[in-house]
Structure 1
Amino acid sequence: MAESANPGRRRGTELEHAIYVATLDELAANGYGGLSMEGIATRAGTGKAALYRRWPGKQPLVLDTLRYALPPLPEPDPERSTRENLAKALNAFSDVLAGRTLIPGIEFIVDVLREPELRALFADRIVAPRLEHIEAILHEGVQGGEFAPDALHPLAARTGPALILQTYLLTGQPPGPQEIDLILDTVLQGTTTSTP
Structure 2
Amino acid sequence: MTAINIWVASDCAIVCTDAVTAEGKRVLWIGTKMRHFPHLPAVLVYTGRSAHGPLVDEYIGGDCYDFDDLVADLAPAMTDALHDKAAWLQEMNSAGEPFDLYAVGWSRSAQAFQAHVCSYDGKADPQTSLVGLLAIQPGGPEFVSALIEAGVGPQAIMANKDVVGTFKRVMQIQREVAASIGHVIGGFHQLTILTQHKIETAVIDRWPDRCEGG
For normalisation by structure 2, the TM-score amounts to 0.27
Question: Higher helix share goes to which structure?
Answer: 1
TM-score, with normalisation over the residues of structure 1?
Answer: 0.28
Higher strand share: 2
